[in-house]
Structure 1
Amino acid sequence: MDSDIGSRTSCFSPSASSGKCLLWAAISAAALLAGCSHLDPRKDAEYQSYAPTADRPVVRPIRSISSFNESLVCMDYMLRAAEIPTTLITAKQFPDYSGKVPASTKDMMITALSRMSRVSNAFRYVDYEVNLVTQDTVQNLTTILLNNNQMQLQRPALYISGGVSFVDQNVFTNSESFGAAGERFNAGYNRNRSATLLGLEMHLGDFRTRTLLPGLDSANEVVFGGGSQGLDAAATIGLYGVKFTLGRDYTQGTGGALRTLVDLAAVELVGKWARVPYWQCLMLEQTNPNFQRQMRDWFDQSGPSGQLRLIENSLLNQGYLSSSDSGLAVNDIRMRGALARFQSDSGIVVTGVLDFPTYERALRNFVKLSEDGSMVRMGWSASGPADMTVASAARSDGISSVRPWMIDMQIENPQPAGERPAFTEGEQVFLSATLSRSSYLYCYFSDAAGNVMRLLPNAITTNAMISADQAVRIPDWMAPNPGFILDAGKPGVEAVMCVATAQDAASRLPPEMQAPALSNMRGIQGLQGVQQRFSSILGTDEFVAQVLQWNVVARKPAPPSPPAPPAPAAK
């Protein structure tokens, strides 16, 4: 104890060591804080109040797509042109025995099938699988309703089977390093690269027989990897030195690589099954791995002013901005509204901000491959756009880059090649309507006598808002309760007219058009009267309309039955 006291009191002597005294003071302060005081969380309230803000991401989310997303859209229109009927499909779980791909392959396949069915209505997924380990609300309710005969599951016609076939990590690994040293200076440089292979195999099967269809398979693999660079340097001057380290690296994840393989497999399986030239959808420029990187380089080179001019020109050509809105600032409310509508119709996250996903989606169809395989711009440059209408060259899927606001109506009944034959009395009619832009949709039916009734919206389908490129069935023959059935009436000409408006016009329509759905509207004769009333309240530029007509012929009388044979004579 005396020695300790001596060591403490020696700090106050003239000959005391300053380092020894500072160390002793630090130990004493730490002991005092640990044993003689307690932490008060209230003192940290202001500091902790920044945590919810700091926890938010600083980059806006973007839509999760692969380089084959445009190929899925192309397949959708190709299936529509081939008049593929709606098919029920399901999928098994896709296992990954390597345990190195933590991703939901099944959900990616469901998304791919959905993107190929927006216009064509080619597939409807049947979610029948029940996981006995992790029961959820939907599975529990399904079990209860099935056991009580209150629910009936539709049997799918097709199913998809497959899984991650292999993950070969670090197939290639390359490492380079060198250094130099001197009396007062030394430096070193290193570079590392690696490549990994991911394989995915899928098959299409007949659900009724649980047999895999020969030839309907897909087996592809993709390479992804990572790399790093580093520089170390150190120098000394006398007793002092300085050292710094610079490094950068990248890692390509398995999620994006797996989604690319899933989308490619979906295009191949569906194309082979439907017997359509699906390879045309795999030849798009967007499937090039360098497409996104080249677009990003052009986006950065254009700068804010160039980006605004390019996007403004695209919005003007597609009708999202009027000619009087030319020259708007990027933060103008009209520009933000036009950007939001374009983003919604293009299937990207709506922000109302001019960002790279919006830039890429507006200009992706104006990029072509040159003879040397590099990406070249068609109809626009880094300094500003030329004439975008000139650059809208025909694509392999037949979709124009600049589409006007329009309604595409089709008769969905199976029909032979050539002109559609007339419907007979009582025959069911199936239609569809697809909008090129998110709009409010109103559909009206006119019989041979000119009586008009509203089909959509109705008591079952109350919402009139329809997304862009989303085919609406009239009636919805796949729904358990379609709301109505459209049968051919008396001989003559029948028609359905659909009207699309930018704003909800239901409350602004005149009283004679406020009649309940599926009932004749008094005071309106023919579809021309409906269109005139929309023009009177909205003007000719605030809505678009499309009419689809068909002929109805009388049912042929049944052939007379042959006379009954005479009864045998009595003996």
Structure 2
Amino acid sequence: MMKRKLRWGALALAVATLAGCATTENALKDANALLQEREADKLLPVTNLSPYALALGRFGRMLDIYKAGDPVIYMQTRSILDATNLSSPLAGAEIPGDITEMVRTAVNRIGARVVYVPYHPDYLVSQAQLGAKFGVTMPDFLITGALTEFDRAIAGAGRVNSAGIEFGKGDGKVTLGGDIKRTAIYSALALDLNLVSFSTQQMVPQIQASNVVKVLNFSSEDNASLGFYGDAFGFKLEGKYLQGRHSAIRTLVDLSVLELIGKATNTPYWRCIPNGKPDPVVVENMRAAYNGLTPELKLGLIQVTLRKYGESVQVTQKYDAETQQALEKVYAQRYAALGSVDVMTWQGFEPLFFGVPMVWDVAQAPAQAPVPKGGSQAPAASAAGEKAGA
């Protein structure tokens, strides 16, 4: 008899506890707390920055250093759409169907040396009919591309931990149980971008970006139960974390635009990204360009590069004492581990070129105005060499 009273007493206490948690008053209290939290932290407008948005700004300041005196590059895009057809309402509209505006925003983040040229012919025609007059800027390059992959559940992992205990017999039988379940599923989104020369309408060889981002779908489930000889109660907690696909695509766009224009300008754009790795396309392009220069142009480029290190050498295209002293100083301070090198070879010049100091502080970045459109779009090494020989 005593056992039965204890059993029903414990069960009543548990039910009362659960019922108390589910009262209307408590529910309203929790709802108000959640609303206040969202109003304080979540509903205020914030800058929409991807992890690579700041890298695009750094890249713009890198161009101020590497491309000082070079013409502005004018860019335009064709429509960058979804090629997987998963943006269709019939497929659930799982991803955006048009990301052209994201690409435009990424290009415009770079700065004054890479200028985006909008293409809105209907608007211009309408304004022209009202008497407006426009100047026309022709782009140097077009960006083409599409969202090319969306693979659901390319990888997944799950784990379930369960435990149970049972004691007593007959009316005094008690069972305790619980389990913890965790599931993680990855999906993948891919974006392809290519660069097209506007004047020739040909793709620029090897200047493309093809990147993939993984999106995590994580769920958790916790269960517990307590039973007294057939009468039982329990609770269940569930949680789910799903990374936003639109936000993941913006990250993908910012990274891909950085890579595309970094390759097009032959600059070490990977230095703008934490733990970035050298791009073999840029390294090979610069190696071929440097090896194709005459000794005089090589010396001119070396002197121009030394000036970017803060050395006050004159661009004479001659291996004078001033140039020799500046080289010895820079290599001793920064590249002493390389030992003796010949800067007239690419192996000796490569660390000097790719290691130019970068000042990411906007206030201290070189304030050199870009050259208006009209100059030639020469490779980085050739342009610097020609400037040195002027």
**When the two structures are superposed, what TM-score results if normalisation uses the length of structure 1?**
0.39
How do 1:159-170 and structure 2 match up within 5 A?
A: 159-170=142-153
Aligned equivalent of 2:341:
none
Which of residues 270, 277, 281 is equivalent to 1:279?
A: 270
Q: How far did residue 208 of structure 1 move?
A: 3.0
Q: How far did residue 418 of structure 1 move?
A: 6.1
Aligned equivalent of 1:7:
none
5+ residue gaps, structure 2: 1-34, 88-93, 167-173, 278-354, 376-383
Aligned equivalent of 2:86:
98
How do 1:151-230 and structure 2 match up within 5 A?
A: 151-152=133-134, 153-181=136-164, 182=166, 183-230=174-221
Counterpart residue identity of residue 213, structure 1 = V
Q: How far did residue 241 of structure 1 move?
A: 3.9
Distance 1:172 1:409, change over 3 A: closer
Q: How far did residue 168 of structure 1 move?
A: 0.4
Would you say the 8 A contact 1:228–1:247 is kept in 2? yes
* Matched position secondary structure for 2:204: strand
Would you say the 8 A contact 2:156–2:184 is kept in 1? yes
Counterpart residue identity of residue 165, structure 1 = T
Counterpart residue identity of residue 188, structure 1 = D
Distance 2:57 2:177 in 1: 57
Q: How far did residue 199 of structure 1 move?
A: 0.7
Which of residues 115, 124, 144 is equivalent to 2:109?
A: 115
Distance 1:61 1:286 in 2: 31
Which of residues 28, 48, 58 is equivalent to 1:74?
A: 58
How do 1:531-570 and structure 2 match up within 5 A?
A: none
Post-superposition CA distance 1:450-487 (Å, at most 9, x none): xxxxxxxxxxxxxxxxxxxxxxxxxxxxxxxxxxxxxx
Counterpart residue identity of residue 94, structure 1 = I
Distance 1:406 1:177 in 2: 55
Distance 1:114 1:160 in 2: 13
Q: How far did residue 263 of structure 1 move?
A: 1.4
Counterpart residue identity of residue 245, structure 1 = K
Q: How far did residue 220 of structure 1 move?
A: 1.2
Aligned equivalent of 1:359:
none
Q: What value does the CA root-mean-square deviation take over the aligned residues?
A: 3.6
Would you say the 8 A contact 1:103–1:255 is kept in 2? no
Would you say the 8 A contact 2:81–2:98 is kept in 1? no
Q: Bigger relative contact order, structure 1 or 2, given CA contacts below 8 A and separation 6+?
A: 2
Matched, 1:267 2:258: yes
Distance 1:188 1:411, change over 3 A: closer
Distance 1:109 1:396, change over 3 A: farther
Counterpart residue identity of residue 143, structure 1 = V
Distance 1:260 1:407, change over 3 A: closer
Matched, 1:146 2:146: no
Would you say the 8 A contact 1:204–1:269 is kept in 2? yes
Distance 1:400 1:215, change over 3 A: closer
Distance 1:411 1:264 in 2: 26
Counterpart residue identity of residue 86, structure 1 = V
Distance 1:194 1:164, change over 3 A: same
How do 1:448-467 and structure 2 match up within 5 A?
A: none
Q: How far did residue 202 of structure 1 move?
A: 0.3
Distance 1:190 1:285, change over 3 A: same
Post-superposition CA distance 1:382-407 (Å, at most 9, x none): xxxxxxxxxxxxx9761156x7x679
5+ residue gaps, structure 1: 1-51, 131-138, 288-394, 422-571
Looking at CA atoms only, which structure, 1 or 2, has the larger radius of gyration? 1
How do 1:63-462 and structure 2 match up within 5 A?
A: 63-81=47-65, 82-83=67-68, 84-96=70-82, 97-99=85-87, 100-102=94-96, 104-117=98-111, 121-129=112-120, 139=122, 141-147=123-129, 150-152=132-134, 153-181=136-164, 182=166, 183-237=174-228, 241-282=232-273, 284-285=274-275, 398-399=358-359, 409-410=367-368, 412=370, 417=387
Distance 1:399 1:408 in 2: 9
Distance 1:58 1:127 in 2: 36
Distance 1:271 1:58, change over 3 A: closer
Counterpart residue identity of residue 105, structure 2 = T
Post-superposition CA distance 1:513-533 (Å, at most 9, x none): xxxxxxxxxxxxxxxxxxxxx
Q: How far did residue 286 of structure 1 move?
A: 9.2
Aligned length: 250
Would you say the 8 A contact 1:161–1:203 is kept in 2? yes
Aligned equivalent of 1:468:
none
Q: How far did residue 164 of structure 1 move?
A: 0.5
Would you say the 8 A contact 1:229–1:248 is kept in 2? yes
* Matched position secondary structure for 1:258: helix
Distance 1:215 1:412 in 2: 26
How do 1:461-476 and structure 2 match up within 5 A?
A: none
How do 1:6-25 and structure 2 match up within 5 A?
A: none
Distance 1:63 1:126, change over 3 A: same
Counterpart residue identity of residue 171, structure 1 = I
Distance 1:397 1:229, change over 3 A: farther
Would you say the 8 A contact 2:81–2:97 is kept in 1? no
Would you say the 8 A contact 2:161–2:180 is kept in 1? yes
Distance 1:129 1:208, change over 3 A: farther
Counterpart residue identity of residue 111, structure 1 = T
Distance 1:233 1:213, change over 3 A: same
Distance 1:278 1:150 in 2: 40
Would you say the 8 A contact 1:67–1:286 is kept in 2? no
Would you say the 8 A contact 2:61–2:365 is kept in 1? no
Distance 1:102 1:192, change over 3 A: same
Distance 2:242 2:248 in 1: 12
Distance 1:77 1:103, change over 3 A: farther
Q: How far did residue 267 of structure 1 move?
A: 1.4
Would you say the 8 A contact 1:169–1:197 is kept in 2? yes
Q: How far did residue 104 of structure 1 move?
A: 5.0
